Structure 1
Amino acid sequence: MGWGGHAAVIGDALTLLKNQLDSHLLALSPESAGAGTEAKVVFPDGDQKTDSASFKTGAITVLLYRIEQETALRQGDAYVRLSPQGVAQRVQPDISLNLYVLFVSKFKDYAQALQYLSQVVRFFQGNKVFNHQNTPGLDAGIAELALDFVSLTTQQENELWGLLRTGYLPSVVYKVRTLTFQDQDAAPPGAPVGELIRRGLT
């Protein structure tokens, strides 16, 4: 299924992070980077039959568990945007989102799980920002993705793993900033009142 326009899509952002991290981990083991090599970074199976989260053994699983609205980036007039031609347009306000992403390391060998988790931290330590200059594959609708390490308290960890309904596994959390969704159905500045009412802009 295709998606029109260049709207920033959550799936595009997480897929890019997953693929970038996977390429990094595979590059650390050149002997396993041939054709048909199984990915080291995956998404959860979307067809799980139980209420509890299930994580693939032998891989890092990327799981989105929280979305928050970023309010600090609001414009002076949230209902006005300039088109590429410099024409003022009436729009619904932008919605900027931060994503909280869990990286879970599950391997039969516990020491190996910790080694891979360390590589996740090292990778994002050296790659805190993904933009169009350093990441050509970044979607055109995303200006950049910036990652912040999140230190959860013991209570927050208990609540998170309780929500997932499974036992704790070696893992880290990153806050991904910021995806901005823009109104793709802009109205001209002189749009009839009825049109503005229909779109909730009065």
Structure 2
Amino acid sequence: MIRTILQLLVNQLTSYILQVNEDIEEPPVVLGNIGLSNALGGSESYMQDKIVLSLVNLIEETTMKNSSPYRSASFQPEVENPPIFVNLFLLFTSNFTSPQGAGSSSQIPYNNGITLLSTVIEFFQSQNIFTAQNSPAMDIIQNPSLQDIRIAVDLYPLTFEQVNHLWGSLGGKQMPFVMYKARVLPLKREKITARGGLIQDVQTKINHIHE
């Protein structure tokens, strides 16, 4: 499910960028681990000269765990584990590097990457709520388990110390980036853990006190 959600954001963002910039021919956004990119000494060339979406952390939203495990289905009570609400921390990196020894033109790839990164911010400013109903670019609509998914994407600023730790854990030098927190409501799998019988009548017993 998480992969589908990330691909949804990639597709929606790609569609937006291609609409506002007709000069771009190839998909400008890819899903990948930026720590494996060529710019950081890796061999993943498909991320070169792209905006790279990387999932860098995932935590549960504990403030929304107090839902009841009980529900009624066909007049029969059922018990299932409550849904999980998660926060996905998404790193959008401008993976555009300048060729060495190219004179003044060496800044063109870097400048293009900064422009696309600005477009990423513009996109999420214009739309930060994603559902199966308002995201027709994905087959998420055909997945019954994702019909009620609601993704709220908010800018997540980092301190300089956090930035240093982040890129240190990724194993390379810092590149232009922006971080977002995506709140996914809810995430669950339909699995019944117990069933009970239907309560048809209630009997009461009254003890009479004789004086």
TM-score greater than 0.5 by the shorter chain: yes
> In the aligned structure 1, how far is the partner of 2:117 from the partner of 2:37?
27
Residue 15 (structure 1) shift: 0.2
Name stretches of at least 5 consecutive residues in structure 2 with no aligned partner.
Answer: 99-108, 198-211
Instruction: State whether residues 129 and 147 of structure 1, in contact with CA within 8 Å, keep that contact through their aligned partners in structure 2.
Output: yes
- The CA deviation string for residues 15-59 of structure 1, in whole angstroms up to 9 with x for no partner, is 000011111112223244xxxx4210012269x599977682211
Work out whether residues 91 and 183 of structure 1, in 8 Å CA contact, stay in contact via their aligned partners in 2.
no
Secondary structure of 1:63's counterpart equals strand
Q: What TM-score comes out, normalization by structure 1 length?
A: 0.76
Among candidates 154, 167, 173, match of residue 160 of structure 2: 154
Task: Tell me what 1:126 maps to.
Answer: 126
Matched residue SS, 2:62: coil
Counterpart Cα distance in 2 of 1:120 and 1:180: 25
> Quick check: which one's helix share is greater?
2
1-side partners of 2:165 and 2:83: how far apart? 31
Q: Tell me, which stretches of 5 or more residues in structure 1 are unaligned?
A: 1-8, 192-202
Q: In the alignment, residue 16 of structure 1 is paired with which amino acid?
A: L
The answer to whether residue 102 in structure 2 is matched with residue 102 in structure 1 is no
Out of 38, 41, 44, the residue aligned to residue 29 of structure 2 is 41
Deviations 1:68-123 (A, max 9, x none): 0011222342x22344x564311123222110000001223222221111000000
Q: Count residues with an aligned counterpart.
A: 176
Structure 1 residues 82 and 171 mapped into 2: Cα distance closer, same or farther (>3 Å)? farther
Flag the 1:39–1:86 CA change in 2: closer, same or farther, 3 A.
farther
**Do the aligned partners of 1:52 and 1:165 also contact (CA within 8 Å) in 2?**
no
For 2:133 and 2:193, the matched residues in 1 are separated by 32
Q: Matched residue of 1:30: which SS?
A: coil
Identity over aligned residues, as a percent?
30
Report if aligned partners of 2:150, 2:186 keep a CA contact under 8 Å in 1: no
Q: Is the 8 A contact 2:12 2:135 kept in 1?
A: no
| Corresponding residue for residue 202 of structure 2 | none
Tell whether 2:73 aligns with 1:80.
no
Whole-angstrom CA distance in 2 between matches of 1:179 and 1:166: 33
Instruction: Give the TM-score, by structure 2 length.
Output: 0.73
Cα distance change on mapping 1:31 and 1:91 into 2, 3 Å: same
Which of 163, 172, 178 is residue 166 of structure 1 equivalent to? 172
Question: In structure 2, what residue type is equivalent to 1:42?
Answer: V
Contact 1:59 1:106 in 2 (8 A): yes
Provide the C-alpha distance between the structure 2 equivalents of 1:161 and 1:185, rounded to a whole number of angstroms: 39
Q: Report the aligned-residue RMSD.
A: 2.7
